[in-house]
Structure 1
Amino acid sequence: MIEAVLWGVVAASPLFVGAVLALLHSWPAKALGIVLGFGAGALMASIAFELWEQGLEVAGPVPLVTGVIAGALAYYVADRIVDARSAGKEAAGTPLAVGALLDGIPEQLVLGIALASGEGVSVALVVAIVVSNLPESIGSAADLRRAGMPRARILLLWAAVTVLCALATVAGYGLADAVPAEFRAGTMGFAAGALLVMLVDSMVPEAQSKAKESTGLATVLGFAVAAGLALAS
């Protein structure tokens, strides 16, 4: 259990660290767009080489595809609720926070199950998580700050996301013996579905609006780095 707590904190902490970095430094729009593009590429690699590939190996396509659809619908509905309840500009970075939550909880739930099963965690995998999570929180926090949200509220938002994701690792560790392989594959699919909708609807358009022609290159670099780390793990 102590190992699950430790790895849960290590995997989730980049979400809060990114928010702190965004508030400590005023990021130029183009630099922020490049960071977001890099993060988008890293998340694409995470979907392809971690969530989708491992989900197929664990339980096959049916629970995985079911999870993808559920995750996509969950993000879509959550994002519509955020749009309806927010006052336009203040919601600028909120979709990224919603995506981080809907991706982070199932992803770290799977991490906890893997730890309980004795599979362990590689350094390369942890670095890959940092590469994808850090830009996501930097982009969200910077946008929220520019929109006028108080610093304390931004930090509280990302602290809550970080804590919930870390607790998911502990929950996965405790549930490992009680859930079938189909549940694990379904959670991987859920994370992948939520991420895909968030990437298309929020992260990539936001990066494109800020970094313009540099977005594609940054995205490919992010994909290459994260894919290499995932394959190395």
Structure 2
Amino acid sequence: MLDALLWGGVAASSLLIGALLAIVRRWPDVVVGVVLAFGAGALMASVAFELAEGGLRDGGPLAVGVGLAAGALVYFFADRGVERWSGRKGASAAGAPLAIGALLDGIPEQAVLGIGLAAGGGVSMALLVSVFVSNLPEAIGSSSDMLAAGRSRRFVLSLWLVVVIVSVLAAVAGALIADAAPPGLAGIVDGFAAGALLVMLVDAMIPEARAKAKNVAGLATVVGFAVAASLSLLV
């Protein structure tokens, strides 16, 4: 439980760091894009070497397949709902859609961290680094947009604090579920996180990284993949 709180907090803390960085100054698009591309590459490696591989080991192909389909569909429809809500409400409700989007990414990632800790395998450094790095540009970009729309600094920080708390609770919930549930459930959760992340990467993260970092995005993605893959294989 304490380990889940600790590592869940470490992984989610980059959301607050990103918000603070956005408050301190406005960052060039190319910098945000490079960090975003690096995070995308790291998440790709985590999906391949941590989530898919771990899910197959813990639950088998059926559990991973069910999780993949569920995660992809849940993220797809929830993200579409967020987009429609944001379009209807406009800038006055900008904070809520951004928070929901961050939670859609964060909850399955944090749950997998908690499950890994409960299973006795320790924290996955590759997944931890991937989540931490990918959170930074998301928080920087989202916070910058909210500040530009007239939101106060207190509102922005409070919003991300709530997201961080819920994300950490997801890590604790993952640990509790792993303690009480059969091994197959871990495979489903791994698959769910992988499916949600793959849809998010293709629909949002990679296009934004390419738009902001231009031709450098591909190189940064490869570096992120190499770093996370190395952590998965060496740690």
TM-score (norm 1): 0.86
State the percentage of identical aligned residues.
58
For 2:216, the equivalent position in structure 1 comes to: 214
Alignment of structure 1 residues 37-52 onto 2, 5 Å: 37-52=37-52
Shift of 1:135: 3.4
**Counterpart secondary structure, 1:177:** helix
1:70 and 2:70 correspond: yes
For 2:132, the equivalent position in structure 1 comes to: 130
Mapped partners of 2:125, 2:202: distance in 1:
29
**Counterpart secondary structure, 1:227:** helix
Higher mean alpha-carbon deviation, 81-90 vs 206-215, is at 81-90
Go from structure 1 to structure 2 and tell me whether the alpha carbon gap of 1:51 and 1:140 turns closer, same or farther (over 3 Å shift).
farther
Higher mean alpha-carbon deviation, 45-54 vs 115-124, is at 115-124
1:115 and 2:117 correspond: yes
Structure 1 alignment gaps of length 5 or more: none
Higher mean alpha-carbon deviation, 207-216 vs 17-26, is at 17-26
For 1:169, the equivalent position in structure 2 comes to: 171
**Counterpart secondary structure, 1:186:** helix
Higher mean alpha-carbon deviation, 206-215 vs 143-152, is at 143-152
For 2:11, the equivalent position in structure 1 comes to: 11
Go from structure 1 to structure 2 and tell me whether the alpha carbon gap of 1:36 and 1:117 turns closer, same or farther (over 3 Å shift).
closer
Shift of 1:133: 3.1
Count matched residues: 233
Structure 2 alignment gaps of length 5 or more: none
Go from structure 1 to structure 2 and tell me whether the alpha carbon gap of 1:93 and 1:65 turns closer, same or farther (over 3 Å shift).
farther
Of 196, 199, 212, which aligns to 1:197? 199
The root-mean-square deviation of aligned C-alpha atoms, in Å, is 2.6
**Matched residue type, 2:59:** A
Alignment of structure 1 residues 27-42 onto 2, 5 Å: 27-42=27-42
Higher mean alpha-carbon deviation, 95-104 vs 33-42, is at 95-104
Mapped partners of 1:53, 1:143: distance in 2:
37
